[in-house]
């Protein structure tokens, strides 16, 4: 029983404008740990969603590489593909593979492979839609070649959100205070 710490209740005069709750060190740690657990669960869900979207887009690009049929031709007047369409499809497949690597930050496989940075991926992914637009190859081609760019932007937005949440938890840990007797 001597090992247990006696809690001394803290009394605070009731103030209608603001109610300040002072947490002791253990309570602060519990709050931070609960927030970290919630953040980790949310991040896992976001990563699963991102992997599903990027994986689906990758499958559609693989289908395009095999069939050479623009999926948007069903909705628009078919127009000829852009020059070097197979090469751009391979590039977009590589971009998707890179995004899948980025969405597994603690992967135990392929540790030696360093994924490309987001600015590089944006530059690579933006070439085909730009060529399609400048060549006047129609809305179907512009949309199709922008597909990888859209998946990239979604992936990047989710990763920024995850990073921001982790930084906020780390910042919260630095704001701990010493409240003896609270």
- The tens digit of pLDDT for each residue in 2-37 reads 566 666 665 555 555 567 777 777 887 888 889 899
Mean predicted confidence (pLDDT) in 51-80: 92
Q: Give the domain range for residue 34.
A: 25-174
Average pLDDT, whole number, for the chain? 86
**Local structure of residue 108 (DSSP, 8 states):** S
pLDDT, residue 78, reads: 87
Inside any domain, residue 119: yes
Inside any domain, residue 68: yes
Inside any domain, residue 159: yes
In contact, 76 and 93? CB cutoff 8 Å: no
Inside any domain, residue 2: no
Inside any domain, residue 161: yes
- What is d(CA 52, CA 96) in angstroms, rounded to the nearest whole number? 11
More confidently predicted of 71 and 28: 71
**Composition of the chain by helix, strand, coil, percent to 5:** 65, 0, 35
- What is d(CA 93, CA 54) in angstroms, rounded to the nearest whole number? 10
Inside any domain, residue 49: yes
Number of domains in the chain: 1
Inside any domain, residue 151: yes
- What is d(CA 90, CA 110) in angstroms, rounded to the nearest whole number? 20
For the entire predicted model, the pTM comes to 0.78
Inside any domain, residue 120: yes
Mean predicted confidence (pLDDT) in 152-166: 94
**182 confidence band (pLDDT: 50, 70, 90):** very low
């Amino acid at each position: 029983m001597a090992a247990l710490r006696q809690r001394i209740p803290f009394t605070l005069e009731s103030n209608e404008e603001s109610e300040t709750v002072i947490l002791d060190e253990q309570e602060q740690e519990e709050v931070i740990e609960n927030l970290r657990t919630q953040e980790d669960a949310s991040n896992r869900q976001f990563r699963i969603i991102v992997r599903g979207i990027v994986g689906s887009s990758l499958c559609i690009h693989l289908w395009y590489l095999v069939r050479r049929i623009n999926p948007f031709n069903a909705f628009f007047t078919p127009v000829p593909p852009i020059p070097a369409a197979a090469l751009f499809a391979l590039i977009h497949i590589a971009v998707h593979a890179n995004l899948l690597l980025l969405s597994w930050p603690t992967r135990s496989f392929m540790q030696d492979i360093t994924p490309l940075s987001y600015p590089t991926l944006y530059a690579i992914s933006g070439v085909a839609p730009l060529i399609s637009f400048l060549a006047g190859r129609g809305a179907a081609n512009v949309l199709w070649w922008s597909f990888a760019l859209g998946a990239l932007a979604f992936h990047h937005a989710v990763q920024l959100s995850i990073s921001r949440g982790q930084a906020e938890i780390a910042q919260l840990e630095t704001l701990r205070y010493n409240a003896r007797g609270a």
